[in-house]
Amino acid sequence: MAGAYDDRDGFIWVDGAFVPWRDAKVHVLTHALHYASSVFEGERCYEGNIFKSREHTERLLKSCDYLDIPHPFTADEIEAAKVATLAKNGFTDAYVRPVIWRGSGPDMGVASSRNPVHLAIAVWEWGAYYGDAKMKGAKLDISAWKRPSPETIPSFAKAAGLYMICTMSKHAAEAKGCSDALMMDYRGYVAEATGANVFFVKGEEVHTPKPDCFLNGITRQTVVQMLKERGVKVVERHIEPAEMEGFEQCWLTGTAAEVTPVGSIGDYSFEVGALTRSIAGDYEKLVRGRLAAA
C-alpha cells in the first residue's frame, strides 16, 4: 500500500462500523487535536495472528485509565473489532493501530468530561521499520530531549502527547543521516529510542535500562523472557551514557522495530554480533509460531 495515509483504499473500523478509508475523519475542534487527549497501540499481525493481541488491548485500556478517559468499548469488543478489520481489508500480515480519543462536544477547553470518546482501528501493510538496518545495524543520534519524570507526565501510558519530543528527536536524527535517536531520562540515564526500547551486550550479560520513567514495551518484555529462557543473565538497571563505550552489541525492540540491531549511537560503535542476530531470528520465529518451546 502506497500513498498518503488519508488517501488509500480499504476500511477503518470507527465506533462499531466500517467506514471507507478516505471518509474516516474528525472535526477540526476535536479535543484530542488541541489537548492530546488520545491513547493508542501499535501491533503486528503475522500470518493471521496478532502477536500478543490481548496484552496490547489491556494496555490500551490501562492507558485510558492513566489519562482519565472512559473505556468506549470492552476488551472483548476491541479484540473482535481488530480481527474483523483485518478480515474486512483482506490482510493476514499487517500493522494494527487502535486509537482512542476525546472528540468534539460541549467542552472546548482543558476539561473535556462531557465530550464523547471514540475508538478507531486501522490496519495496513508495513515492512521493516528501519529499512535495511536489520542487516547492518541502525545508526542512532543522541537526542537533546530527555524522557520526563513520571511525576510530570503519565509516563507509563501509550499516550499521543508523550511522543511530541520523540517526533522532534527523530526529525533531528534524520537530518543527520541517522535512523533514530537515543533519549536519556530526566536524571541523565540511558532511557530508550523514540519508539523502541534498547538492549546492550557486555560479555555474557545483557543490560537494559530500568523502565521506571518510560514504557515497558511488550516486545521488550518478550525479549527479556526469551533471554532468560536461554540462560542469559539480564541486568535491568540505570545505565550511564559513558558506559556505552564498554558495550559490544546493541539492539532495539518494539512492535514496529521488532528486534533491530544497532551499529552506532553517536560516537559509540557496536558489532552486529551473534547474540543480536540470534535473538532477532528467534523473535521472528516466535511471532510466526515457529519457535519450539524451551
E strand or H helix that includes residue 242: none
Annotated catalytic, 158?
Answer: yes
Q: How many CA atoms lie within 13 A of 221 on its CB side?
A: 9
Cell representation of residue 88: 474486512
Q: Which residue among 52, 158, 176, 285 is the active-site one?
A: 158
What is the tally of helices (H) and strands (E) in the chain?
7, 16
Q: How far apart, in whole angstroms, are the C-alpha atoms of residue 185 and residue 205?
A: 23
Query: How far is it, in rounded angstroms, from Cα 120 to Cα 247?
Result: 42
CA distance 183 to 141: 9
Residue 16 backbone phi and psi in degrees, to 5: 95, 0
Contact between residue 224 and residue 234 where contact means Cβ atoms under 8 Å apart: yes
**Do 214 and 196 meet the contact criterion of CB atoms below 8 Å apart?**
no
In single-letter form, the type of residue at position 27 comes to H
Q: Which of 178, 176, 215 minimizes the C-alpha distance to 196?
A: 215
Sign of CA dihedral 18, 96, 50, 69: negative
Give the active site residues: 158
